[in-house]
Structure 1
Amino acid sequence: MSFDRRLTIGIVLAVAVQSAGVLLWAGAAAERVETLEERVRESRPVAERLARVEAELGAVRLQLDRIERKLEARDAP
C-alpha cells in the first residue's frame, strides 16, 4: 500500500488549520460567556433594589387607595 506524500501533508495541514480555527472560536466564545457572567453579577444588586422599589410602590398604591376612599366617604353627603 502506497500513500502520496503530498496528500498526507495536505490532510495534516488541513486538520491543523481547522483545529486552530476551532480553538480560536472556543476562546472567543469563552470570552463572551465570561463577559456576560460579569454583567449578570453587576446587575444583580440593581435587580434586588428594583424588586424592593416595586414592593414599596405597591404599598404606596394601597395607602393612596385607602386615603382616596376615606376622602370620598368624608365628602359624601
Structure 2
Amino acid sequence: MELRVTVAIGAAVIVQSGLGLVWAGAASERLAQLERRADDNREIIERTARLEEQARFISAALVRIEDKLDAKGEGE
C-alpha cells in the first residue's frame, strides 16, 4: 500500500512538472508574439510621424505657392 502511494505521488509530481514546462513554453511563445507586435506597432508609429511631417512641409509649400500666385495676380 505504501509503495503505491509513493509511486502515485511520484507520478503526480512528474506529470505536474511536465505540464508546468508545457505551460511555460506556451507563455513564452505568447510573450514573443506580443513583443513582435509591439515592434510592428513601433514601426507604424514612426512611419506615421514621418508622413505627418512630410504633409506639414507640403502644406507649407502649397501656402507659399498660393501666396506667390495671389501676389502675381494682384500685380497684373
Alignment of 1:1-77 (within 5 A): 4-54=2-52
Unpaired segments of 5 or more residues in structure 2? Answer: 64-76
Q: Percent identity?
A: 42
The structure where helix makes up a greater share of residues is 2
- TM-score with structure 1 setting the length: 0.61
Aligned pair count reads: 62
Deviation of 1:49 (Å): 2.2
Q: CA RMSD in A?
A: 2.7
Which consecutive residues of structure 1, in runs of 5 or more, have no partner in the other structure?
A: 65-77
